[in-house]
C-alpha cells in the first residue's frame, strides 16, 4: 500500500523520542498491525522495507545501539520515511508487538494503521 501520500514530511531526517503514554498507544496499534501482516521487524528487514519503499514509518527501541540508530536514521531520511524512538527496550518492543526475539526496530507498512496511530496519539494513547 502506498504510504507516501499520507505522510507529513516534518519528521524526515530527524528522529523524535516518543513519550511513554504515546508509546503505549503505538504499541497497541503495532500489535494489531502485526496480526494483519503490516509490520516488519528487525534492522535488516526494516532497511529492506525502506529500500522497497513499503515503510510508512520506522519505530526504534530506546536501547538500540548508536550504529543501528545512525543506520536507520540515515536510511529513513534517504527514503523520506519518518522514524521515531519509542520509550521501550528491544525486549519490550518485541514482546508488545508479538515477536519472540528482541528487535531494535519495526516498520509499519500500512497507512491505515498509521492513521490509527495518529488518532490514538491525539487521544492520549487510547485506541
Which pLDDT tens digit goes with each residue over 34-72?
999 999 999 999 999 999 999 999 999 999 999 999 999
User: What pTM, to 2 d.p., does this model score?
Assistant: 0.89
- What kind of architecture, by CATH, is found in domain 12-122? 2-Layer Sandwich (3.30)
Helices (H) and strands (E) in the chain, counts: 5, 5
CB 91 within 8 A of CB 98: no
Each domain of the chain, given as residue ranges in start order, spans: 12-122
Amino acid at each position: 500500500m502506498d504510504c507516501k501520500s499520507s505522510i507529513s514530511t516534518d519528521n524526515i531526517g530527524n528522529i523524535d523520542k516518543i513519550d511513554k503514554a504515546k508509546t503505549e498507544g503505538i504499541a497497541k496499534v503495532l500489535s494489531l498491525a502485526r496480526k494483519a501482516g503490516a509490520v516488519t521487524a528487525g534492522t535488516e528487514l526494516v532497511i529492506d522495507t525502506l529500500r522497497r519503499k513499503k515503510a510508512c514509518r520506522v519505530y526504534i527501541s530506546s536501547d538500540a545501539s548508536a550504529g543501528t540508530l545512525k543506520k536507520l536514521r540515515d536510511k529513513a531520511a534517504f527514503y523520506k520515511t519518518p522514524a521515531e524512538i519509542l520509550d521501550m527496550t528491544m525486549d519490550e518492543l518485541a514482546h508488545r508487538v508479538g515477536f519472540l526475539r528482541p528487535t531494535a526496530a519495526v516498520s509499519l507498512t500500512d497507512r491505515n494503521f498509521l492513521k490509527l496511530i495518529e488518532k490514538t496519539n491525539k487521544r492520549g494513547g487510547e485506541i
